[in-house]
Amino acid sequence: MASYNVGPRHVFDARRLAREMGFDPNRWKDSVETAMVLLDDPEVARRYPAGVCRCRRAANYTRRILRRYAAYVEQFPPA
């Protein structure tokens, strides 16, 4: 979902940064999401191939979609 806003290269960079920070690069919440917000900072982002992005915006978008999904699943549980 984050790739929809910023493209897959920025998500790959966020996963790499998450791994470097000791987080699970395959987990969004409190991991890739945290790293993605850091890529909003030009000082951090210049160390990665895709460079600076509006990653905070993508993280917020993804967080909103996941909250809506959780609400739908709660309201309409899978059979």
Domain residues of the chain, as ranges?
2-75
pTM of the model: 0.86
pLDDT at 79 over 90: no
Q: What is the pLDDT of residue 53?
A: 87
- DSSP code of 25? T
Cα–Cα distances in Å, from 36 out to 7, 27, 54, 62, 73?
12, 12, 9, 11, 26
- Tell me: the pLDDT tens digits for 7-57? 999 999 999 999 999 999 999 999 999 999 999 999 999 999 999 888 999
pLDDT at 78 over 90: no
CB contact at 8 A, 5 and 53 = no
Is the four-CA dihedral 27, 29, 42, 58 of positive or negative sign?
positive
